[in-house]
Amino acid sequence: MTKTPLYDRVTLIGLGLIGSSLGHAMRRAGVAGEIIGADRDEAVCKKAVELGFVDRAETDAAKAVADADLVVLCTPVGTFDALAKEIAGALKPGATLSDVGSVKLSALKAMAAHAPEGVHLIPAHPVAGTENSGPEAGFAELFEGRWTILTPPDGADAAATEKLKSFWEALGSKVEVMEAEHHDLVLAITSHIPHLIAYNIVGTAADLETVTESEVIKYSAGGFRDFTRIAASNPDMWRDIFLANKDAVLEMLGRFSEDLSSLQRAIRWEDGDALHKLFTRTREIRRQVIEAGQDE
């Protein structure tokens, strides 16, 4: 690459789906002079070097962040507090500490609790993913055409935020800046509740006595199979998300359940018009999702 890298050294902590995708995408875009990986699992570190999305990798996160200009936490959000504590002392003054966690207020709090003065804290969340995990699941195109949300705290350094914005844009992402709290509300409805109800219906189906598991699987092409895909997502990551975004999730879940009760009532009282009206409105939203290029 002949481009001037945006950051001379970037350290990725956690080399799963998102960490490996970031590595591949950074390589392709030429935005990092050097990419260092950290993973608690020695075998994953080796694999990452072998796959070529990091230059080197090690199990000691504090060592890995030495002299890095940008450090990105790519582990489940429940690990951020301990990780931030572990690396805090090793961070270079003027470095940017960021993450890719799916919940932002808790991420910000966890990092802010430990990051030393002079380190720029800019949480980020690429709204892109698949149901796969691990260092082999990543690919450079994951962020293309998707949105990445930055949630810098009040008083964050404007230049550092701009630079991180350029970084994500170089990876093909569109970037939006918003408050961490608002992010968590938006993602509760566009991501966390969809996952929760997918996990839930797959569980409900597995528990039936009147319908066998083999029937559920055979006839899954009627709609159920799409939910099984979502419900195959990483259990650690999703447990952490629901715990970290408890308030927003419970708020949205309350609304979902209220609306579902009203649909239930429409079915019980055979109110076909009410059903038809909802089913027509939802089509319009689909049209807009496609128009916005968010389902290709």
Ligand X SMILES: NC(=O)c1ccc[n+]([C@@H]2O[C@H](COP(=O)([O-])OP(=O)(O)OC[C@H]3O[C@@H](n4cnc5c(N)ncnc54)[C@H](OP(=O)(O)O)[C@@H]3O)[C@@H](O)[C@H]2O)c1
Site for a copy of itself in 250-279 (CB under 8 A): 250, 252-253, 255-257, 259-261, 263-264, 267-268, 270, 272, 275-276, 278-279
Closest by CA to 51, choosing from 8, 11, 20, is 20
Examine residue 154 and tell whether it contacts a copy of itself (CB under 8 A).
no
Size of the site for a copy of itself (CB under 8 A): 94
- Residue closer to ligand X by CB (options 151, 234) is 234
Q: From CA 230, how far away is CA 26, in angstroms rounded?
A: 27
Examine residue 126 and tell whether it contacts ligand X (CB under 6 A).
yes
74 interface partner picked from ligand X, a copy of itself, none, CB below 5 to 8 A per type: ligand X
Q: From CA 152, how far away is CA 130, in angstroms rounded?
A: 26
Q: From CA 237, how far away is CA 191, in angstroms rounded?
A: 13
Give me the amino acid identity at 11: T
Please report, as residue ranges, which positions from 147 to 206 form the binding site for ligand X (by CB under 6 A).
none
Q: What would the two tokens of residue 216 be?
A: 């559920």
User: How many of the other CB atoms lie within 10 Å of CB of 1?
Assistant: 11
Residue 26, CA distances (Å) to 12, 74, 99, 142, 150 in order: 11, 14, 15, 12, 18
209 interface partner picked from ligand X, a copy of itself, none, CB below 5 to 8 A per type: none
Q: Which one of the spans 173-181, 232-240, 259-267, 277-285 is the region binding ligand X (CB under 6 A)?
A: 232-240
Q: Which one of the spans 37-45, 65-73, 87-95, 282-290 is the region binding a copy of itself (CB under 8 A)?
A: 282-290
Q: Which residues contact 30 (CB under 8 A, 6 or more apart)?
A: 1, 2, 3, 5
Please report, as residue ranges, which positions from 225 to 254 form the binding site for a copy of itself (by CB under 8 A).
225-233, 235-236, 238-240, 242-243, 246, 249-250, 252-253
Examine residue 139 and tell whether it contacts a copy of itself (CB under 8 A).
no
Q: Which positions from 82 to 111 touch a copy of itself by CB under 8 A, shown as an x/- string?
A: --------------------x---------
Q: From CA 202, how far away is CA 216, in angstroms rounded?
A: 9
Q: Which one of the spans 122-130, 150-158, 193-201, 211-219 is the region binding ligand X (CB under 6 A)?
A: 122-130
Give me the amino acid identity at 32: A
Please report, as residue ranges, which positions from 182 to 221 form the binding site for a copy of itself (by CB under 8 A).
185-187, 189-208, 210-211, 213, 215-221
Residue 203, CA distances (Å) to 115, 175, 188, 197, 228 in order: 40, 36, 20, 10, 10
Among 146, 161, 167, 175, binds a copy of itself (CB under 8 A): 146
What single-letter DSSP state applies at residue 104? S
Q: Under the rule (CB under 6 A), what is the footprint of ligand X?
A: 14-19, 39-41, 44, 74-77, 79, 100-102, 125-126, 129, 133-134, 137, 234, 236-237, 241
